[in-house]
């Protein structure tokens, strides 16, 4: 795909996504500008629908918006705050442990490097990149299941894992698109370019899409 085609894809996705609600982590970032709030919302969001994540994040952050306050909550209180998020008991323990580590190693501050973020137990590359890009405004490409699927579906990359997709995108995607790329594709993937039977008849970027792996569409 040429630079001009990429530019067209980005512009059309920006326009199309205006009709849809932004991803929850983007919403948290816009409202709070807090790396800690973004970290917590991202941890809750794993394998959880945005609607549930939104409410669970609001409840928990209303109780504790700093690592210092979070470690003062009991595990049952943490669990109640984020229920019914998927794996809420595991996530409650993970959030508590991460907050203890932030206090012990970083004086309660969220680190602003990919390497240090990924040293936190339970923080993977996707979460770390979201915190970096949304919380600190640093360059990065966050690749979740939507970004991985759609980038391959478009024919932009040919990769087997999200991490390989990230590395491939770093080589071909202009840096000025890096931070917003996740937002655009997550919103698009949740509403139109769905995993099964995507809405190709409504697709604003169909002219650029190779439909790799698409067997049924609407």
Q: Cα 140–32–20 angle (5° rounding)?
A: 70
Q: What is the pLDDT along the chain (218 residues), one digit of tens a residue?
A: 899 999 999 999 999 999 999 988 888 888 888 999 999 999 999 889 999 999 999 999 999 999 999 999 999 999 999 999 999 999 999 999 999 999 999 999 999 999 999 999 999 999 999 999 999 999 999 999 999 999 999 999 999 999 999 999 999 999 999 999 999 999 999 999 999 999 999 999 999 999 999 999 99
pTM, entire model? 0.91
In our burial notation (b when 16+ CB lie closer than 10 A, e otherwise), range 178-211 reads: bbebbbbbbbbbbebbeeeebeeeebbbeebbee
Angle between helix 75-82 and 88-106 (nearest 10): 120
Q: Cα 39–175–54 angle (5° rounding)?
A: 25
CATH node for 33-136: 1.10.340.30
HSE toward the beta carbon, residue 111, CA cutoff 13 A? 19
Q: How far is CA 84 from CA 51, 72, 74, 91, 163, in A?
A: 11, 21, 17, 11, 29
pLDDT at 30: 87
pLDDT at 29: 86
CATH node for 3-21+141-208: 1.10.1670.10
- What does the domain layout of the chain look like in residue ranges? 3-21+141-208, 33-136
């Amino acid at each position: 795909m040429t630079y001009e085609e990429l530019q067209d894809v980005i512009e059309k996705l920006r326009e199309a996504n205006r009709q849809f609600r932004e991803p929850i982590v983007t919403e948290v970032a816009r409202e709070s500008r807090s790396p800690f709030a973004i970290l917590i919302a991202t941890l809750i969001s794993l394998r959880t629908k945005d609607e549930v994540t939104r409410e669970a994040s609001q409840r928990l952050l209303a109780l504790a918006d700093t690592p210092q306050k979070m470690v003062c909550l009991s595990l049952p209180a943490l669990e109640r705050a984020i229920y019914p998020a998927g794996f809420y008991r595991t996530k409650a323990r993970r959030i508590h442990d991460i907050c203890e580590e932030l206090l012990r190693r970083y004086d309660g501050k969220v680190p602003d490097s990919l390497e240090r973020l990924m040293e936190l137990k339970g923080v993977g590359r996707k979460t770390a990149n979201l915190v970096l890009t949304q919380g600190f405004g640093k360059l990065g490409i966050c690749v979740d299941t939507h970004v991985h699927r759609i980038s391959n579906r478009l024919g932009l990359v040919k990769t087997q894992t999200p991490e390989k997709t990230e590395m491939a995108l770093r080589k071909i995607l202009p840096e000025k698109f890096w931070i917003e790329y996740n937002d655009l594709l997550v919103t698009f993937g949740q509403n139109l370019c769905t995993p099964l039977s995507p809405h190709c008849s409504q697709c604003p970027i169909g002219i650029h899409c190779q439909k790799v792996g698409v067997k049924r569409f609407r």
